[in-house]
Amino acid sequence: MRYTTIYNDPKTRRNITESCVYWDNAFTDEDIDNIIKYCENFELTHGVTFGENDKEKLKDTRRSKISFHQRNNDNAWIFDRLNFVIQSANEMFYGFELNGYEAFQYTMYDESENGMYDWHMDMGLGTREFEGEPRKLSLTLCLNDDFEGGEFQINTGKENEPITPEVFKGRCLLFPSFVIHRVKPVTKGTRKSLVVWVEGPKFT
């Protein structure tokens, strides 16, 4: 779990919006292995982006395979654990008004296609492709670390000097969905992750 500096002037803390925070130990190694086993029982499809779903046109932007999972009796424990992390981290760092999310996404980036996802934001500014509220808080749970490449990076305005948070099996990264980020190409092995986009009322 990451904690920011505590200030004697509370206004300082209130004025900081962290580009990314992390939460460790929400899931054990056994939990993570069970998540992978559960997700790999389902067929994967090629990931798409807002406004584009043609595989050939996507190859320079996103190369990944995904499946979506809504809550049911078999995976409810995963949702419960994620809900705790999301609610706790949001209360501590962001204070966004959130309503929730319907599903999590299981994602694989494989070396066979140099799996990657170039610079993008999750919020979907200016798009009307999906019904519902704006995505406001994103979470990615790292499910393994036995791969090379595939670094997660954040662009806070200096594309040539991106932030590269340390990631490893079991770490949750949380960040505002309007933050520009990417996954660099995987050069060896397969990168596996679980992704959530939490929705809420339009920012005002």
Q: Which residues contact 81 (CB under 8 A, 6 or more apart)?
A: 26, 27, 31
Q: What is the pLDDT of residue 125?
A: 75
CB 171 within 8 A of CB 76: no
Higher-confidence residue: 53 or 19? 19
Residues 69-92 pLDDT 10s: 999 999 999 999 999 999 999 988
Cβ atoms within 10 A of the Cβ of 122, count?
Answer: 22
CB 85 within 8 A of CB 27: no
Which CATH code is given to the segment(s) 20-199?
2.60.120.620
Cα 91 to Cα 97: distance, rounded to the nearest angstrom: 10
| DSSP letter (8 states) at residue 56 | H
pLDDT tens, position by position, 185-202: 999 999 999 999 999 999
Give all strands of the β-sheet with 180-183 in edge-to-edge order.
62-63, 116-120, 180-183, 152-155
Q: Are strands 172-176 and 135-142 parallel, antiparallel or unpaired?
A: antiparallel
| Lowest-confidence region among 10-19, 40-49, 95-104, 165-174 | 10-19
- Of 133, 153, 137, the C-alpha closest to 200 is 133
Would you place residue 50 in the very low, low, confident or very high pLDDT band (cuts 50, 70, 90)? Answer: confident
Q: What are the extents of the domains in the chain?
A: 20-199
Kindly state the average pLDDT of the residues 165-188: 97
